[in-house]
Amino acid sequence: MGTRRIGLDVGAAVLVVLLAGVAAGCGSNHPSSARPGPSDDTSVTTPEGPGGDPSSALLAAVCAGTATVSDGGTVTATAIDEASGIAASRRNPGVWWVHNDSGDSARFFAISDTARLLATIDVDGATATDWEDIAVGPPATDDGGETLYLADIGDNGRSRSSITVYRVAEPRIDADATSPATAHLTADALTFTYPDGAHDAEALMVDPVSGDLVIVTKDWTLTGHSQVFRASGDLAAGSTTVLEQVARLDLPFGTLVTGADVSPDGSVVALRAYGSVTLYPRPGGQDVWSAFTQPPCSGPPPIEKQGEAIGFTADGSVYATLSEGAQPTLHLTHP
């Protein structure tokens, strides 16, 4: 299908390149040309929300400038020192999945909503070239467990001939355990190539409606041009797939996208950069990337040393951010 170019009007010059924020209330210059979505509902989700659901309430607060940030706790586990991705567990209430950036082994962690280490999970048979994000997708098993996707997609030098996303069933965690547990899981490896050559990327999200995997690239030319690619989440283990480019985001100068997530009901999409968080409402019945055609709203700037991780809570009422570095604070933004 054709690629949509999505432009945003920038209201002010960006003075600090790596801490560029997205101006609230910016408009889209190009209409959506998304293919038909999973339903024929053509309504547009607004900041007020169609029924007062938690994700719409959060979006409304962000757009109104009334959203607040609290500290959930400090990650004291020394093994978590380059947090690059975070996602809320669906199977284990109050649990967050976290992983490190490049340099760590193929593993991820479970922490509590107060940032206490609960478990370390090694992914047997996987490699960790540059893990950059983690996302939760629709159930892949019949026991109610969701699916975790671990994105080995970082490529600062744009030299990788392919990237890998690891797919694993979400494990059960004892959130009341007095000491951290250890576990081993085996994941399916999904290999992807870009249709136009290598890209650096740090943002992966999984559409809870369609199961699509969506990657947003990180533009190191500082022009703010991020590409959006998709693939089906229903792929055979060991498969190699060429990603489909579905959109281009024209972001403010200097914006480097370092993370992404979509609310559990699929109605709100979050992008983060080092110094900004932006929420987009998703038009009803359209593909998840159609959210980027809508006027976005800027969340409270995360005060983090090198923020790369963002994720919605399991009910979509709050989003969390986390920074790289030792003993980062788990920041929670809520209405």
Residues 203-250: pLDDT tens digits?
999 999 999 999 999 987 767 789 999 999 889 999 999 999 999 998
pTM of the entire structure?
0.85
Mean local confidence (pLDDT), 91-96: 94
Calculate the average pLDDT of the chain.
85
Q: How far apart are CA 152 and CA 175, in angstroms?
A: 27
Give the pLDDT band of residue 144 (cuts 50, 70, 90): low
Tens-digit pLDDT profile for residues 260-319: 999 999 999 999 999 899 999 999 999 999 999 999 999 998 889 898 999 999 999 999
First to last CA, the chain: 38
Q: What is the pLDDT of residue 25?
A: 34
> Where is pLDDT greater, at 53 or 37?
53
DSSP for 201-257, written as a single string: EEEEEE-TTT--EEEEE--TTSS-EEEEEEE-S---TT-EEE-EEEEEEEPPTT--E
Mean local confidence (pLDDT), 188-213: 96
Q: What is the pLDDT of residue 224?
A: 72
Q: What is the pLDDT of residue 103?
A: 86
Mean local confidence (pLDDT), 244-260: 92
Query: Cβ(88)–Cβ(141) under 8 Å?
Result: no
Tokens standing for residue 277: 């968080």
Second CATH level (architecture) for the domain 4-334: 6 Propeller (2.120)
Domain residue ranges of the chain, discontinuous segments joined by +: 4-334
Q: How far apart are CA 10 and CA 8, in angstroms?
A: 6
Q: What is the pLDDT of residue 2?
A: 47
Q: DSSP secondary-structure letter at 147?
A: E
Q: What is the pLDDT of residue 226?
A: 94
Is the pLDDT at 327 greater than 70, yes or no? yes
Q: Which residues pair with 136 in a beta bridge?
A: 148
Is the pLDDT at 48 greater than 70, yes or no? no
Give the number of other CB atoms < 10 A from CB of residue 265: 17
Q: DSSP secondary-structure letter at 293?
A: G
Q: How far apart are CA 310 and CA 157, in angstroms?
A: 24
Tens-digit pLDDT profile for residues 29-42: 333 333 333 333 33
Q: What is the pLDDT of residue 42?
A: 32
Tens-digit pLDDT profile for residues 58-68: 999 999 999 99
Is the pLDDT at 46 greater than 70, yes or no? no
Size (the chain), residues: 335
Q: Which residues pair with 278 in a beta bridge?
A: 271, 298
Q: Collect contacts of 46-50 with beta carbons under 8 A, ≥24 apart.
A: 46/281, 47/281, 47/297, 49/267, 50/284
> Where is pLDDT greater, at 82 or 28?
82
Is the pLDDT at 166 greater than 90, yes or no? yes
With a pLDDT cut of 70, the percent of the chain lying above it is 82
Q: What is the pLDDT of residue 24?
A: 33
Q: What is the pLDDT of residue 156?
A: 92
